[in-house]
Structure 1
């Protein structure tokens, strides 16, 4: 149990909540647009029995799929964090900001990290297999950028783009978990691109903290190559495109009033996130992190869910 607790600290398991909102947003929107019904006397669909899809209430929510999406998301994120910590442990040791991470200090053994990452990967593939054949077939493609990302800073000045690709997978995968087909998946692809740009743009801000150290130890990133000011300006431009993607997704799926209100709050949050960070003051990057990865996703998901429930 102590090893399990140590591993969960290593991957910051409580931050899994930040990874879920956009997967839920995509999955629930797909469920609403493409309801699955169980006619009377037909037994059950999946693990739970459903009323006919047009019966109102919460009958359109596919609880078994939502549970498996949750398992897959948490397992995938856990694997990604563990792999990142394992691959970057020597780099982390040379950076004062990350020198106290568990694999560097020895609070978590390398063996525990490997076992934990392997278990997480097996759970991820298992959840994908239980969802549908398409998810199982595509699951290795979802894992690939999670492994490549930590190595990216060794061969490119744009590892943030690899992270963006890794994050774009979640909304698309959640949509396919519901539909089992790429037919009609344009909204999910648009949302996936927007989410990828959102996280990639924020990673530009986050990497500014280490720009000077990265230059000294040979780690490559956009801020270390082009400077902090350029990184912040690029992040702002990327987040403008991100917001346009959210708007496009809303138009494609028919956002109602509440969802548009949530999107408006998101816009204000984006402005605030960039206003508190400047090339001369990076002290509020962590506040920006929690704002970007927590508040934005939860607000947009919450308002969109309320919008779906009220229709």
Structure 2
């Protein structure tokens, strides 16, 4: 069991789950009825199934590439801990469970579930033909708050686009930073990424631009939800952490990238989600 949790990087669920929770709570804030505990469970399990499918499929599609890259050779499939067929089977089963759970939640979720799978599974192939792969990954995380809102309401609120695009650009920004580690490898293997295409310095500037727009969109979403001061505090802390990671990587270079990618972004997401939860409970 532990080896499969490592395969799918279960701890990285912290990147998407807080924003999914915000979408859920925003639906309740908008006057929609609290779903039954069973429906809430289906929603949580659907999120886990979707992420499991995406990560297992990514590890399966990339295992030959991972075996060549010194940074990724110790991942479960290249290291021989999990067989490629096992990872693929996990992705297939998780995808089927996701669609089943979507059907149990509501009809709109069922109809949208194949589109969601197309995005989160299709991302794994994007580095083979476009440097915009970082944005596709961002879309995969950015749809999380919209998905939970739709799961609760059976409809959509256009104001959520501020948050969805904010999450998308936040994700794309930190993924660009993470990809700096593989510039030379990606170029040698003819894999596409923004760092491989435009180099280290320009990539850092583009990542900073994405994060600046992301912070602006988070602020716009705060205005859209009538400006709760606790949520504003969450937006400010989220923004400070994004700025700090850029300063940290600028000062320390590649050796700080894992900290920027993992710890800082995970904490930033958790802080924002917690702020929204506190505001919801107090109101």
TM range (shorter): over 0.9
> In structure 1, how many angstroms separate the alpha carbons of the residues matched to 2:189 and 2:178?
18
Asked if 1:270 is matched to 2:238, the reply is no
Greater length-normalized contact order (CA 8 Å, ≥ 6 residues apart): 2
Bigger fraction of residues in helix: 2
* Equivalent residue, structure 2, for 1:45: none
Which protein is bigger by CA-based radius of gyration?
1
Asked if 1:26 is matched to 2:7, the reply is no
Asked if 1:290 is matched to 2:262, the reply is yes
Distance 1:19 1:107, change over 3 A: same
Tell me, yes or no, if the aligned pair for 2:53 and 2:121 is still in contact at 8 Å: no
* Equivalent residue, structure 1, for 2:89: 115
* Equivalent residue, structure 2, for 1:140: 114
Distance 1:220 1:65, change over 3 A: same
Shift of 1:232: 0.7
Considering only aligned residues, what root-mean-square deviation do their CA atoms show, in Å? 1.6
Matching of residues 296-307 of structure 1 within 5 Å: 296-307=268-279
Q: Which moved more, 1:157-166 or 1:204-213?
A: 157-166
Matching of residues 213-228 of structure 1 within 5 Å: 213-228=185-200
The SS at the match of 1:107 is coil
Asked if 1:168 is matched to 2:142, the reply is yes
> In structure 1, how many angstroms separate the alpha carbons of the residues matched to 2:187 and 2:131?
11
Shift of 1:282: 1.0
In the superposition, the TM-score normalised over structure 2's length comes to 0.95
Post-superposition CA distance 1:214-270 (Å, at most 9, x none): 111221111011001111100000011101111111111224111111111111111
Tell me, yes or no, if the aligned pair for 1:31 and 1:62 is still in contact at 8 Å: no
Tell me, yes or no, if the aligned pair for 2:138 and 2:169 is still in contact at 8 Å: yes
Asked if 1:211 is matched to 2:208, the reply is no
> In structure 2, how many angstroms separate the alpha carbons of the residues matched to 1:156 and 1:204?
13
The SS at the match of 1:22 is helix
Q: Which moved more, 1:141-150 or 1:131-140?
A: 141-150
The SS at the match of 1:186 is coil
Shift of 1:153: 0.9
User: Which one of the candidate residues 2, 8, 13 is aligned to 2:10?
Assistant: 13
Unaligned runs of 5+ in 2: none
* Equivalent residue, structure 1, for 2:223: 251
> In structure 2, how many angstroms separate the alpha carbons of the residues matched to 1:266 and 1:97?
29
Unaligned runs of 5+ in 1: 37-59
> In structure 1, how many angstroms separate the alpha carbons of the residues matched to 2:230 and 2:36?
22
